[in-house]
Amino acid sequence: MKRGFQTFMGSRFPTEGGGDYDPAARLRDMDTEGTDVHFIVHGGGAGHPDPSLEMEFIKADHRYLADFCGTNVHRLKTCIAVTPHAIEGSVAEIKRWGREPWAAAIYPHFPLDYPLDHPDMNPIWAAAADEGLAVIHHSGLPAIQGIATSGITRFLVASPATPGAPCALSRRL
């Protein structure tokens, strides 16, 4: 089934609001589909050119997701957005939300050509490890082409596509 730019594998479209503002609709759709858990990948305000404004958008997104996923923390999971433009703010967000039952991972939003293994990211990786959070990578082809500049980066970008690779799974799912 097609709807605009989306292709769905099921026999019906998602219910209006289930992906955006109505967690009850999403949970009903999950029941209809026979799905136990959804992992929600979101963008928040990550990528804004003003780092302080970007961080405020990220914080607001996390508050929203706490409410949305809080309706059923065992079935609705998501990630904590982080950015290399605000290392201290990202670490603070990991510490604030990392123990919430809906938080299963961190989601770094990198600018093009920013390597995943950049040493400035070490405090973020350490905070994620301290909270027991996985790290996910979700991008389109241009972003992969933009950051795949080192051997380790190419490996990290490719590994989530490998069957059985640990990308967004954690002890909390």
pLDDT 10s digits, 110-153:
888 888 889 999 999 999 999 999 999 876 544 444 444 443 33
Q: Are residues 5 and 56 in the same domain?
A: no
Coil/strand/helix, residue 100: coil
Residue 155: give the domain boundaries: 36-161
What pLDDT, on the 0 to 100 scale, is given for residue 170? 35
Phi, psi of 135, rounded to the nearest 5 degrees: -120, 130
Residue 123 lies in a domain: yes
Give the tens place of pLDDT for each residue, 30-84: 999 899 999 999 877 788 889 999 999 999 999 999 999 999 999 999 999 999 9
Q: Rounded to two decimals, what is the model's pTM?
A: 0.78
- 171 is a domain residue: no
* Residue that is written with structure tokens 């089934």 in the block: 1
- Residue 119 domain-assigned (yes or no): yes
Sign of the torsion formed by the C-alpha atoms of 172, 16, 41 and 29: positive
pLDDT digits (tens, 9 = 90+) for 154-172: 334 333 443 333 333 333 4
Is the distance from CB of 168 to CB of 39 less than 8 angstroms? yes
Task: Please tell me the total count of domains within the chain.
Answer: 2
Residues 129 and 76 in one domain: yes
Band of residue 12 on the pLDDT scale cut at 50, 70, 90: confident
154 C-beta neighbours (distance < 10 Å), count: 14
Do 13 and 86 belong to one domain?
A: no
Does some domain include residue 134?
Answer: yes
